[in-house]
A and B are shown apart, each in its own frame.
Chain A
């Protein structure tokens, strides 16, 4: 089993290290050929407008949509935005991968001064300290399974083989989300 991390921009190295720390092979994915070589994909944190432009420029949009239709994909922060079916506060021409039937709002918690660390509570009882950096908020999530909450708010979800989270587990060394993601592979 090999997990890929989309490596166009953002903190992909931290996700590669998190996956390797769980004893699973990980590799950077920058093009459609590298995408074909992995069994699942993480779309990391970064600047979502930049990542979505790079996805288009380098011909990755349709390969990523096909991949996400059948294989496991986890998106954190910018990755959550890209996996959402609807995004509020996005540029008019922002191309999304989609697949998660949720509405997400960009920079919803505010600018950098409102960025924070906090304990998220997974529905299986685990709590971990994670970072929310200019984080997106999951506004509507009628059809999806809730994976984690911060205070009373849903911050991580699952729908079929897709998972998304508002926060960054990879910055604080938290790995529970990665474990849940890996355990969903067949």
Chain B
């Protein structure tokens, strides 16, 4: 009789495969988690404050209260993800003990280690990590990440950084695929990533794990644009619960993500949503306030 092999790389990246074409929504309590599930979210991300509030209120942002995470896990049937600080392997141990379905090692929280990221191979729970370019994505995968999200600039409602990062990652993959075998050694050096992984990406023309977009998506059209650019799915943070009508906006972003190639469907989804989150232009942010520069 055969055995169950749990937490294999395939099982860890497999859950992300099931989330493709979907929207993962930031929630701070059970009530928001239920709204997200009813709107058609494929998963929720539990955190203490949405990025827009972290940005406005300042201070150190950390992993959520375990009671809050339990409350969210108990309120919905879809997968629950939660954020740990970059490098904070004990927060990750706690989240694994709480039985979350995925851990986001996230630049949205204050980093706990400015040198090392978490060694994610040591965990049974899978991790998603942010990246602004291909080299960063491959370094996270080397450390054991089972899913990548482009970082964008969280809490702004300005999609321009999300656009830049997904275009950069996918553009660098296309450039890599055009290289000859003897050019891949130097490509690995320049990407600061292991040669074997670089070679695999060049051959496959894609990352070995699922690639979502995050950071600044606030409207159905933003979400559909990210999908047309080649994302496998979308994270929406402050964009939903900082808007005038979270229920309607959440459902509309789900519809636009599904029908991302159908302008009529996106137009229909965009009607009657009330106020979008006010937002901040990324170009107005003072340099130390850019979250996407955390992580390396």
Segment among A19-27, A105-113, A158-166, A175-183 that sits at the interface with chain B: A105-113
Q: Which of B39-47, B50-58, B181-189 contacts A (4 or more CB under 8 A)?
A: B39-47
Complex: chain B residue closest to A13, CB-CB: B20
Contact of A117 among B8, B17, B22 (CB under 8 A): B8
Contact between A112 and B125, CB atoms less than 8 A apart: yes
Question: Across the interface, do B11 and A115 meet the contact criterion of CB distance under 8 Å?
Answer: yes
Whether B14 and A131, one on each chain, are in contact in the complex, defined by CB atoms closer than 8 angstroms, is: yes
In B1-39, the 8 Å CB interface with A consists of: 1-8, 10-11, 14-15, 17-22, 37-38
Does B241 have its Cβ within 8 Å of any Cβ on chain A?
A: no
CB distance from A40 to the nearest CB of B (A): 21
- B168-194 at interface with A (beta carbon < 8 Å): none
Contact-residue size bin, chain B (C-beta under 8 Å from the other chain): 35 or more
Let me know if B10 and A9 touch, CB within 8 A. no
Segment among A41-49, A64-72, A96-104, A138-146 that sits at the interface with chain B: A41-49
CA distance A77 to B14 in the complex (A): 12
Q: Bin the interface of chain A by size.
A: 35 or more
Q: Are A10 and B259 in contact (CB under 8 A)?
A: no
Query: In the complex the two chains form, what is the Cα distance from A131 to B126 in whole Å?
Result: 15
Q: Are B10's CB and A47's CB within 8 A?
A: no
| Interface contact B77-A113, CB-CB below 8 Å | no
Closest to B126 in A: A112
Whether B205 is near chain A, meaning CB under 8 Å from some CB there, is no
Q: How far is the CB of B163 from chain A (nearest CB, A)?
A: 23
In the complex, per-residue mask of A81-121: 1 if CB is within 8 Å of any chain B CB, else 0: 00000000111000000000000001100011111111100
B99 within 8 A of A: yes
Please tell me if the beta carbons of A117 and B11 are within 8 angstroms of each other in the complex: yes
Do B43 and A11 have beta carbons less than 8 Å apart?
no
Contact residues of B with A, CB < 8 Å? 1-8, 10-11, 14-15, 17-22, 37-38, 40-43, 77-79, 96, 99, 101-102, 124-126, 254-255, 258-259
Shortest 6 CB-CB contacts between residues of A and residues of B? A119-B2, A112-B101, A116-B4, A47-B42, A9-B21, A53-B40
